[in-house]
């Protein structure tokens, strides 16, 4: 109780959830908040039970029952309430849980997953801080292959070394122990009556990892800073290159307009195998934060990498003594400043004051004038940040995804089948994983699909959660629950439109759906997403939109000036710039007035930034 992240992690793998309700009120505000998070993540099968209420007089009991039915109608239409006062009623509930139709959550049906019933940590020879973690549990979802990678929720991606089959602790016929071998399933009759002997004797190794087939843990491309440098090739190198070109030439259908420059792609051949040709140069990219001027703009740097996923939650007591009370004042000041900024951004979107101490042509040198935000061209490959050399990009993401999902449906993979009780040997796991398991937190494990350990740029479509109204600024570090993953990242916000360029939003808007963009490990949709602030409630919920480093997010700036004198279609404007050189520098960029007149700068007047402008119609004074 009180640890929402643990509740959400459990709900990721639970087959059924049992909601225990209060006989009078149903649930309180904390329950409502927890429910809204569960609904946003994806709700498995559930049942509603009401213990108690037998001490009320019969008339009141009926009234309470009606009131409760009304309360749950909104959240759970057509749900049946199970009273829990006698043993008979309890067995009815159990039968319902066993026979009810299972609701499918797409993100877990396509991946093998298990909840650890038991765990044992074996430190490595070099250090006690990392070692092999032996996790035991029932395989669900899909067949688990020992060569695939596994993700421990909240702790990261790991490789497995082997899979064992210990005796099933909950087997239906305990005397017959199934030994599942790779080649054949044979039943072994066991004569030992003593369960512990059975445990010791019957741990069978199902399979060991094959280093040649094992997925690598490499999540980033290691860029070569010298790549692209020119040195003169020798004769032999030229001949070698000729020969290898002849050998390697192949014809591939690519989308129209694809340049050779789009290099480090994850190529997906027609029906063939997946290969990773992903370690070329910084052509893997996202114009996440680019810049645009509409008499405008500021470039902002790419977002930082999300720190690797170590999420812990702490409960801090709120009852502070009087002398400590003022320690929070600083936080209040920052919050007030944020509220002001958010308000200004709402009232004057994208408008900034021209700085007095720096020339505008220097301050805004990364920006360019865009005649039309919608139709002016912008190359997604230009001016990429350094980090783009380290991430992966798909040649055609949706095709790769379809191909993978088709493979999962059709092909029989070798491995531990659904329903088997197995022990996984997970390599190089930090000891903190075992410590959190000992504290009673759930240990949830998912197998990864191909490429899902690699970093790329993920776009989520989210809406503000109604319970939260505090301002959330772009690039603030947030905690993400995405599908089966939990990680921290500093996101960018942008508008959700069908255009090829998307305007950056400086704050998470309360009224519209926004796209949140982060560097994160690749995840194949569908996947739900929840965003949390570090120490507070959920701030937004939504779903994974795409994995696309080429989605252009443009930061727009508006510089404004005031008409000083007006002569029909011409005006003298001041306060937009404060020196003559700036006026000359921004001369090519189009002007527009609040009432839609368009115009251009004709010439500067004097040395203090006054300028003569000509417009396409009569100006209203």
Q: What pLDDT, on a 0 to 100 scale, did the predictor assign at position 231?
A: 58
Strands (E), 522-608: 528-533, 538-547, 552-559, 562-567, 570-574, 591-592, 598-605
Provide mean pLDDT across the span 429-434: 88
Instruction: With a cut of 70, say whether residue 606 has pLDDT above it.
Output: yes
Domain residues for the domain of 121 are: 109-170+202-212+415-447
Instruction: With a cut of 60, say whether residue 516 has pLDDT above it.
Output: yes
Q: What pLDDT, on a 0 to 100 scale, did the predictor assign at position 419?
A: 84
Per the model's pLDDT, the better-predicted residue between 37 and 265 turns out to be 37
Out of 554, 570, 595, a domain closes at 554
pTM of the complete model beyond 0.85? no
Q: Is residue 191 part of a domain?
A: no
Three-class secondary structure of residue 34 per DSSP: helix
Q: What is the b/e burial string over 207-238, where b = at least 16 CB atoms within 10 angstroms of the residue's CB?
A: bebeeeebbeeebbbebeeeeeeeeeeeeeee
User: Are 131 and 411 spatial neighbours (Cβ–Cβ below 8 Å)?
Assistant: no
Q: What pLDDT, on a 0 to 100 scale, did the predictor assign at position 40?
A: 86
Per the model's pLDDT, the better-predicted residue between 558 and 227 turns out to be 558
Q: Is residue 602 part of a domain?
A: yes
Q: Cα–Cα distance between 130 and 152 in angstroms, integer?
A: 15
Per the model's pLDDT, the better-predicted residue between 329 and 9 turns out to be 9
**pLDDT grade, residue 194 (50/70/90)?**
very low
Three-class secondary structure of residue 58 per DSSP: helix
**Model confidence pLDDT, tens digit, residues 569-601:** 899 999 889 988 889 989 888 898 888 889 999
Q: What pLDDT, on a 0 to 100 scale, did the predictor assign at position 303?
A: 38
Q: Are residues 404 and 537 in the same domain?
A: yes
Q: Are residues 492 and 585 in the same domain?
A: no
Q: Cα–Cα distance between 427 and 163 in angstroms, integer?
A: 12
Q: Is residue 330 part of a domain?
A: no
User: Are 282 and 386 spatial neighbours (Cβ–Cβ below 8 Å)?
Assistant: yes
CA quadruple 411, 416, 418, 424: dihedral sign: negative
Number of domains in the chain: 4
Q: Are residues 462 and 542 in the same domain?
A: yes
Q: Are residues 84 and 12 in the same domain?
A: yes
Q: What pLDDT, on a 0 to 100 scale, did the predictor assign at position 257?
A: 53
**Model confidence pLDDT, tens digit, residues 108-121:** 888 888 888 888 88
* Pairing outcome for strands 393-394 and 485-489: unpaired
Q: Is residue 591 part of a domain?
A: yes
Per the model's pLDDT, the better-predicted residue between 241 and 516 turns out to be 516
Instruction: With a cut of 80, say whether residue 246 has pLDDT above it.
Output: no
Q: Are residues 99 and 72 in the same domain?
A: yes
Out of 83, 103, 123, a domain closes at 103
**Model confidence pLDDT, tens digit, residues 147-166:** 888 898 888 888 888 888 88
Q: Are residues 583 and 492 in the same domain?
A: no
Q: What pLDDT, on a 0 to 100 scale, did the predictor assign at position 613?
A: 93
Instruction: With a cut of 90, say whether residue 286 has pLDDT above it.
Output: no
For residue 19, the domain's CATH number is 3.40.50.300
Q: Is residue 365 part of a domain?
A: no
Residue closest to 422 by CA, chosen among 108, 182, 131, 155:
182
Q: What pLDDT, on a 0 to 100 scale, did the predictor assign at position 334?
A: 82
Q: Are residues 123 and 206 in the same domain?
A: yes
Out of 44, 70, 103, a domain closes at 103
For residue 497, the domain's CATH number is 2.40.30.10
Q: What pLDDT, on a 0 to 100 scale, did the predictor assign at position 295?
A: 37
Q: Is residue 370 part of a domain?
A: no
Instruction: With a cut of 90, say whether residue 614 has pLDDT above it.
Output: yes
Q: What pLDDT, on a 0 to 100 scale, did the predictor assign at position 615?
A: 92
Q: Are residues 502 and 407 in the same domain?
A: yes
DSSP 416: B
User: Are 472 and 539 spatial neighbours (Cβ–Cβ below 8 Å)?
Assistant: yes
**pLDDT grade, residue 508 (50/70/90)?**
confident
Instruction: With a cut of 90, say whether residue 205 has pLDDT above it.
Output: no
Q: Is residue 293 part of a domain?
A: no
Q: Looking at 267-281, 329-343, 520-534, which range is the least confident one?
A: 267-281
Instruction: With a cut of 60, say whether residue 317 has pLDDT above it.
Output: no
Q: Cα–Cα distance between 591 and 596 in angstroms, integer?
A: 10
Q: Are residues 21 and 99 in the same domain?
A: yes
**pLDDT grade, residue 122 (50/70/90)?**
confident
Q: Is residue 536 part of a domain?
A: yes
Q: What pLDDT, on a 0 to 100 scale, did the predictor assign at position 229?
A: 55
Tokens of 310: 């170590």
Q: Are residues 406 and 494 in the same domain?
A: yes
Say which residues have a Cβ less than 8 Å from residue 384's Cβ, sequence separation at least 6. Answer: 282, 283, 285, 286, 287
Q: What pLDDT, on a 0 to 100 scale, did the predictor assign at position 266?
A: 52
Q: Are residues 542 and 403 in the same domain?
A: yes
Per the model's pLDDT, the better-predicted residue between 209 and 302 turns out to be 209
Per the model's pLDDT, the better-predicted residue between 50 and 187 turns out to be 50
Q: Are residues 492 and 566 in the same domain?
A: no
Instruction: With a cut of 70, say whether residue 307 has pLDDT above it.
Output: no
Provide mean pLDDT across the span 171-184: 53
User: Are 507 and 476 spatial neighbours (Cβ–Cβ below 8 Å)?
Assistant: no
């Amino acid at each position: 109780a009180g640890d929402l992240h643990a509740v959400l992690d459990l709900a990721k793998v639970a087959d059924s959830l049992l909601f225990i309700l209060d006989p009078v009120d149903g649930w309180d505000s904390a329950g409502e908040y927890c429910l809204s998070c569960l609904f946003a993540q994806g709700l498995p099968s559930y049942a509603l039970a009401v213990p108690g209420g037998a001490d009320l007089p019969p008339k009141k009991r009926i009234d309470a029952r009606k009131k409760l039915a009304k309360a749950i109608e909104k959240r759970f239409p057509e749900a049946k309430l199970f009273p829990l006062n006698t043993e008979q009623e309890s067995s009815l509930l159990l039968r319902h849980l066993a026979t009810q139709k299972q609701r499918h959550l797409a993100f877990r049906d396509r991946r093998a997953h298990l909840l650890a019933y038991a765990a044992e940590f074996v430190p490595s020879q070099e250090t006690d801080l990392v070692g092999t973690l032996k996790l035991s549990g029932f395989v669900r979802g899909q067949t688990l292959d020992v060569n695939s990678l596994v993700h421990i929720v909240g702790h990261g991606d790991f490789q497995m070394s082997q899979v064992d089959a210990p005796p099933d602790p909950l087997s239906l016929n305990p005397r017959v122990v199934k030994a599942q071998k790779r080649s054949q399933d044979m039943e072994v009759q066991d004569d030992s009556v003593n369960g512990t002997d059975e445990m010791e004797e019957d741990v069978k190794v199902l399979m060991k990892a094959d280093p040649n087939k094992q997925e690598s843990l490499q999540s980033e491309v290691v860029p070569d800073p010298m790549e692209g440098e020119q040195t003169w090739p020798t004769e032999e190198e030229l001949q070698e290159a000729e020969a290898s070109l002849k050998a390697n030439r192949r014809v591939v259908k690519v989308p129209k307009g694809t340049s050779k420059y789009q290099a480090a792609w994850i190529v997906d051949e027609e029906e063939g195998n997946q290969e990773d040709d992903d370690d070329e140069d910084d052509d893997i990219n996202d114009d996440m934060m680019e810049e645009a001027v509409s008499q405008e703009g500021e470039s902002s740097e790419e977002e930082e990498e999300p720190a690797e996923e170590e999420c812990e939650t702490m409960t801090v007591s709120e009852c502070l003594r009087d002398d400590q009370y003022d320690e929070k004042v600083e936080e209040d000041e920052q919050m007030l400043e944020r509220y002001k900024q958010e308000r200004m951004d709402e009232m004057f979107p994208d408008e900034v004051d021209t700085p007095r101490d720096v020339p505008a042509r220097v301050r805004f040198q990364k920006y360019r004038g865009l005649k039309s935000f919608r139709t002016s061209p912008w190359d997604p490959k230009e001016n990429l940040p350094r980090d783009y050399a380290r991430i992966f990009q798909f040649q055609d993401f949706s095709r790769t995804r379809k191909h993978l999902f088709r493979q999962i449906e059709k092909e029989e993979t070798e491995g531990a089948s659904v329903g088997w009780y197995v022990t996984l040997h997970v390599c190089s796991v930090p000891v903190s994983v075992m410590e959190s398991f000992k504290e009673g937190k759930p240990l949830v494990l998912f197998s990864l699909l191909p490429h899902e350990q690699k970093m790329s740029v993920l776009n989520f479509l989210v809406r503000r959660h109604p319970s939260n109204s505090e301002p959330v600024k772009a690039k603030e570090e947030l905690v993400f629950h995405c599908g089966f993953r939990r990680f921290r990242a500093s996101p960018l916000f942008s508008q959700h439109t069908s255009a090829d360029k998307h305007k950056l939003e400086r704050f998470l808007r309360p009224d519209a759906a926004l796209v949140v963009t982060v560097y994160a490990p690749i995840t194949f949709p569908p996947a739900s997403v929840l965003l949390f602030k570090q120490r507070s409630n959920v701030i937004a919920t939504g779903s994974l939109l795409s994995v696309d480093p080429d989605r252009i997010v443009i930061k727009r700036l508006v510089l404004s000036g005031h008409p000083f004198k007006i002569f029909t279609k011409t005006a003298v404007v001041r306060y937009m710039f404060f020196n003559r050189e700036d006026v000359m520098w921004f001369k090519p960029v189009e002007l527009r007035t609040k009432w839609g007149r368009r115009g251009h700068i004709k010439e500067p007047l004097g040395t203090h930034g006054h300028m003569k402008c000509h417009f396409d119609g009569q100006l209203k004074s």
